[in-house]
């Protein structure tokens, strides 16, 4: 046992010596925040907030971010920094049990499956940004424009490939020259754009009712589904159980305060989620006469409802340009995080160099992404359990695999690595583990239960057994 521990420490030290790293705390925070701030924040969060009670949903979400979200970010980041490996290697570092291997691979496979269809949606964003830049905002607001666009296989495929190439070029450049540099540039711009659009949105005639609905908690709007929906959003918002935080943790220097970095990521994510709510909910409220149902789920909100809202606003074209530029930045920062996690796994587990790993992932992205791209056009008649390819990959990853991956991480920390090992890792770069009690209770008991609830409710909703 002692020899095994000695060998593991030696292996970790060797890995640490060779491995790329962020330049410091700022590089990690902005990259992790960039991973967290994505399409899920901008189109999913406002919809869920509107549907499940506005202010009360926001309050529960913040409480969960400070407990559930905090615990998972600390656990994953600590495991990554402790082992200096991507998800598969991190899990294997603590034993050869089959469940450890399964836990590692499910965390590693998730980003490989997400990034292809995520890039398809990124391509849609590029299309809309280009059209707004050309002054075609009114055309985008017409009925049937979006469905006509996504059913055109050639157009969607080209936009998808452009987004892929942009993402892969950043990844090929490496951790510091690619991911960190892009995140340091894009995140401040993203924050500035969100503030500008939010201010403009809340000052529209009739928007104040939407602001009140979103920010002021009303206990009468509370239901158990409010909690379930907020828990599910945590996975979208904080990049939990995607392998990303383990990978980024492996690039974090030992002298960087892990708990402080986690708090900064929490603040970034929650602030952007609130900004997304203030950008979208008041504007849609004003447009629809105060109807929360106008905030439809998924792509319909961003690509159908919002162009109509912008068309009825002063400076609609300018607002459309700023909004879709913001969305593009959010999509890119998340896609590079997903891609990096996948590339890191190829490098670590298969011994490939960055060039080969990037090229192989490019082939996977184009293959699987093309299925999602064409699933609303030439391949519209091909479905899996009644779902188009994009919807199926989304269901498989977010509703099934990610909750299971989260449970595996909780088991890894509580049963294999040990909470004391995580505590020791957290104490590098800081004198105390401030939220240790919360962490211990959450990782042992609450987080696995939450993840199981998300898994069961999401699957039940997908098969029509319950309605969320």
Write the CB contacts of 65 (distance below 8 Å, at least 6 apart in sequence): 234, 237, 238, 266, 269, 270
- Nearest residue to 83 via CA among 248, 255, 262: 248
414 domain residue, yes or no: yes
What CATH number did the domain enclosing 424 receive?
A: 1.10.4160.10
> Tokens in use for 169?
């070029």
* pLDDT at residue 1, as a whole number: 45
Host domain of residue 61: 15-462
- The structural domain count of the chain equals 1
Task: Tell me the C-alpha distance between 259 and 434, whole Å.
Answer: 8
- Give me the half-sphere count of Cα atoms (radius 13 Å) on the Cβ side of residue 176: 9
pTM for the model stands at: 0.88
Q: What is the pLDDT of residue 312?
A: 84
Within-domain flag for 96: yes
Residue 324 pLDDT? 93
3-state secondary structure the chain: CHHHHHHHHHHHHHHHHHCCCCCCHHHHHHHHHHHHCCHHHHHHHHHHHHHCCCHHHHHHHHHHHHHHHHHHHHHHHHHHHHHCCCHHHHHHCCCCCHHHHHHHHHHHHHHHHHHHHHHHHHHHHHHHHHHHHCCCHHHHCCCCHHHHHHCCHHHHHHHHHHHHHHHHHHHHCCHHHHHHHHHHHHHHHHHHHHHHHHHHHHCCCCCHHHHHHHHCCCHHHCCHHHHHHHHHHHHHHHCCCCCHHHHHHHCCCCCCCHHHHHHHHHHHHHHHHHHHHHHHHHHHHHHHCCCHHHCCCCHHHHHHHHHHHHHCCCCHHHHHHHHHHHHHHHHHHHHHHHHHHHHHHHHHHHCCCHHHHHHHHHHHHHHHHHHHHHCCCCCCCCCECCECHHHHHHHHHHHHHHHHHHHHHHHHHHHHHCHHHHHHHHCCCCCCCCCHHHHHHHHHHHHHHHHHHHHHHHHHHHCCCCCC
What pLDDT sits at residue 83? Answer: 93
With respect to residue 2, please indicate whether it lies within any of the assigned structural domains: no
The confidence score (pLDDT) of residue 451 equals: 93
φ/ψ of residue 384, rounded to 5? -120, 120
Exposed e or buried b per residue across 304-329, where buried means at least 16 C-beta atoms within 10 angstroms of its C-beta? bbbbbbbbebeebbebbbbbbbbbbb
Whether the CA torsion 85, 91, 96, 98 is positive or negative: it is: negative
Mean pLDDT in each 10-residue stretch from start to end of the chain (468 residues)? 48 50 70 74 85 92 93 94 92 92 95 94 95 94 92 92 92 69 80 89 89 93 89 84 90 85 86 89 83 73 89 86 91 88 90 92 95 91 90 91 96 93 85 87 95 91 78
Q: Would 3 be classed as within a structural domain?
A: no
Residue 7 counted as domain residue: no
In a domain, 393, yes or no: yes
């Amino acid at each position: 046992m002692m020899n095994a521990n000695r060998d593991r420490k030696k292996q970790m030290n060797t890995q640490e010596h060779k491995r790329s790293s962020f330049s410091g705390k700022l590089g990690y925070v902005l990259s992790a925040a960039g991973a967290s701030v994505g399409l899920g924040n901008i189109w999913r969060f406002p919809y869920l907030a509107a549907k499940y009670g506005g202010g009360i949903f926001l309050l529960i979400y913040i409480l969960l971010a400070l407990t559930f979200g905090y615990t998972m970010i600390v656990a994953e980041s600590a495991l990554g920094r402790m082992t200096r490996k991507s998800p598969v290697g991190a899990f294997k570092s603590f034993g050869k049990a089959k469940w450890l291997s399964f836990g590692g691979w499910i965390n590693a496979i998730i980003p490989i499956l997400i990034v292809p269809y995520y890039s398809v949606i990124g391509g849609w964003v590029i299309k809309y940004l280009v059209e707004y830049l050309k002054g075609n905002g009114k055309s985008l607001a017409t009925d049937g424009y979006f469905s006509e666009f996504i059913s055109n296989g050639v157009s969607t495929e080209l936009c998808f490939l452009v987004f892929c190439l942009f993402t892969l070029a950043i990844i090929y450049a490496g951790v510091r020259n690619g991911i960190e540099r892009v995140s340091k540039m894009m995140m401040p711009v993203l924050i500035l754009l969100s503030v500008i659009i939010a201010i403009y949105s809340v000052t529209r005639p009739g928007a104040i009712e939407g602001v009140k609905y979103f920010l002021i908690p009303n206990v009468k709007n509370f239901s158990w589904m409010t909690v379930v929906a907020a828990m599910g959003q945590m996975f979208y918002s904080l990049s939990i159980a995607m392998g990303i935080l383990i990978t980024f943790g492996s690039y974090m220097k030992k002298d960087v305060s892990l708990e402080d970095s986690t708090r900064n990521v929490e603040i970034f994510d929650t602030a952007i989620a609130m900004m997304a709510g203030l950008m979208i909910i008041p504007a849609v409220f004003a447009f629809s006469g105060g109807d929360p149902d106008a905030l439809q789920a998924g792509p319909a909100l961003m690509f159908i409802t919002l162009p109509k809202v912008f068309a009825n606003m002063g400076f609609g074209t300018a607002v459309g340009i700023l909004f879709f530029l913001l969305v593009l930045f959010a999509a890119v920062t998340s896609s590079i995080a997903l891609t990096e996690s996948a590339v890191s796994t190829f490098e670590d587990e298969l011994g490939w160099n960055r060039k080969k790993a990037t090229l192989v992932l490019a082939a996977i992205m184009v293959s699987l992404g093309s299925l999602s791209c064409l699933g609303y056009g030439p391949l519209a008649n091909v479905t899996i359990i009644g779902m188009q390819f994009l919807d199926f990959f989304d269901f498989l990853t977010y509703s099934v695999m990610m909750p299971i991956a989260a449970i595996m991480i909780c088991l890894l920390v509580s049963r294999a690595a040990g909470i004391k090992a995580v505590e020791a890792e957290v104490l590098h770069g800081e004198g105390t583990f401030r939220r240790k009690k919360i962490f211990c209770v959450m990782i042992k008991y609450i987080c696995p239960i939450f993840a199981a609830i998300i898994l069961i409710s999401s699957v039940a909703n997908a098969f029509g057994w319950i309605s969320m």
